[in-house]
């Protein structure tokens, strides 16, 4: 997103800037601590600062914040700081995901494992630069997950309140991890069913992007069961819509907006709902072409365009777009009659549009 881009509705409370401020202050303090241990840790601090502060719409803290406000909770800087912890969960997932997928870039910059491999080469250190980069990325992803704990518990909220929300936070982090495993086992096993793709999307992205942040906010606010039920009814379909939009962008997105090479999901062999739908309905020759080249890291632009056309011609792209609309509508409908704060309910309706229709 550029500075000139429209401000999304999540900034109704100046939320994005406040989350960024909390993250910057935390990272600055962590940099000072690491500098006191050893100067060799400064590149770690710099890399994580660039990664965490370098992009993202802060959707997860936004869902958690408005989940809290929807349940009657009051705004505070301590709340925003604590919810900024969700950005470290996201950072951990992205760093590890890029390593697993052997992605070269993230947000138009080298992925962290590539960045540290390049550092190894520039310094002419001993050993394999790529192995060093991979080890560094594993550790930086783990460190981000540790820091998510630190920020949640050190954000200034009443410790008793944080403790009552802790089971949601733990379940969310478990779900995204097992979802990532389901993703990789689906790729190697060749399971191309839309049912499997839906389950991977639910656990790898849907629940930790929307539902669990909402439920975290609800737990912090001590929300009643009808509100928690409405948040799950909203969060699961919207989270799946969010992932389906990611699937489309991973194949058809503009690299200038996504920060990833065109057709990268095809090179990585991702068995997304979009791909599963294409394999389900394409004619035999087109299905063979897609199946034979899915996961080929050497896919060039011409072949990427041919595979995109297979997906279009199969009807999978339009089918996925229709499913996104259906899921987003179901999400918004789930909020009706839940007794939410009126402002928060409207923001959640707006967030449904941002999540389902974003361009990057």
> Which residue shows structure tokens 């990585």?
268
State what percent of residues in the chain have pLDDT above 90. 76
* For the chain, percent of residues with pLDDT exceeding 70: 96
Question: Is residue 291 pLDDT above 60, yes or no?
Answer: yes
Residue 43 to residue 35: CA distance in whole angstroms: 10
Q: What is the pLDDT of residues 177-218, one digit of tens each?
A: 999 999 999 888 888 889 998 999 899 888 999 999 999 999
| Residue 10: per-residue pLDDT | 53
Arithmetic mean of pLDDT, 238-250: 91
Predicted confidence band at 4 (pLDDT cuts at 50, 70, 90)? very low
Confidence of residue 6 (pLDDT cuts 50, 70, 90): very low
Q: Where are the domains of the chain?
A: 9-357
* pLDDT score of 34: 97
pLDDT category of residue 264 using cuts at 50, 70 and 90: confident
- pLDDT at residue 75 above 90? yes
Which pLDDT does position 5 carry in this prediction?
Answer: 37
Q: Given a cut of 90, is residue 137 above it in pLDDT?
A: yes
| Mean pLDDT of the residues in the chain | 91
User: pLDDT tens-digit profile of 94-114?
Assistant: 999 999 988 888 887 899 999
Q: Tell me the mean pLDDT in the region 291-299.
A: 90
Determine the topology of domain 9-357 in CATH: Farnesyl Diphosphate Synthase (1.10.600)
pLDDT at position 55, please?
Answer: 81
Q: Annotate 199-265 with DSSP letters as a single string.
A: HHHIIIIIIIIIIHHHHHHHHHHT--HHHHHHHHHHHHHHHHHHHHHHHHHHHH--HHHHSS-TTHH
**Between residues 288 and 356, which one has the greater pLDDT?**
288
| Res. 271 pLDDT band, cuts 50 70 90 | confident
User: Per-residue pLDDT tens for 151-181?
Assistant: 999 999 999 999 999 999 999 999 999 999 9
The predicted model scores a pTM of: 0.90
The answer to whether 347 and 66 have CB atoms below 8 angstroms apart is yes
The pLDDT of residue 279 is 94
């Amino acid at each position: 997103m550029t500075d000139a881009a429209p401000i999304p509705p999540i900034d109704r409370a100046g939320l994005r800037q406040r989350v960024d401020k909390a993250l910057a202050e935390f990272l600055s303090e962590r940099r000072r601590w690491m500098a006191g241990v050893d100067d060799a840790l400064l590149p770690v601090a710099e890399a994580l600062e660039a990664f965490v502060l370098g992009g993202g719409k802060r959707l997860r803290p936004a869902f958690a914040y408005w989940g809290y406000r929807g349940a009657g909770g009051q705004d505070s800087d301590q709340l925003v700081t604590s919810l900024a912890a969700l950005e470290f969960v996201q950072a951990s997932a992205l760093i590890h995901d890029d390593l697993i997928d052997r992605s070269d870039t993230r947000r138009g910059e080298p992925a962290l494992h590539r960045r540290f491999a390049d550092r190894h080469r520039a310094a002419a250190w001993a050993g394999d630069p790529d192995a060093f980069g991979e080890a560094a990325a594993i550790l930086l992803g783990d460190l981000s997950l540790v820091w998510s704990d630190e920020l949640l518990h050190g954000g200034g909220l009443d410790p008793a309140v944080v403790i009552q929300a802790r089971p949601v936070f733990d379940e969310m982090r478990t779900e995204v991890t097992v979802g990532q495993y389901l993703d990789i086992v689906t790729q190697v096993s060749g399971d191309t069913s839309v049912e499997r793709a839906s389950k991977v999307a639910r656990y790898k992205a849907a629940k930790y992007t929307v539902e669990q942040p909402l439920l975290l906010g609800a737990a912090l606010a001590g929300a009643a069961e009808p509100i928690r039920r409405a948040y799950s009814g909203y969060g699961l379909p919207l989270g799946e819509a969010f992932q389906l939009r990611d699937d489309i962008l991973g194949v058809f997105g503009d690299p200038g907006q996504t920060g990833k090479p065109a057709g990268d999901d095809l090179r990585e062999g991702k068995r997304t709902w979009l791909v599963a739908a294409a394999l389900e309905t394409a004619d035999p020759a087109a299905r063979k072409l897609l199946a034979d080249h899915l996961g080929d890291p050497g896919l060039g632009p011409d072949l990427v365009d041919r595979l995109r056309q297979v997906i279009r011609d199969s009807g999978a792209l339009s089918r996925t777009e229709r499913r996104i609309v259906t899921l987003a509508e179901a999400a918004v409908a789930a909020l009706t009659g839940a007794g939410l704060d009126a402002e928060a309910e409207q923001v959640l309706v707006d967030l449904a549009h941002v999540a389902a229709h974003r361009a990057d």
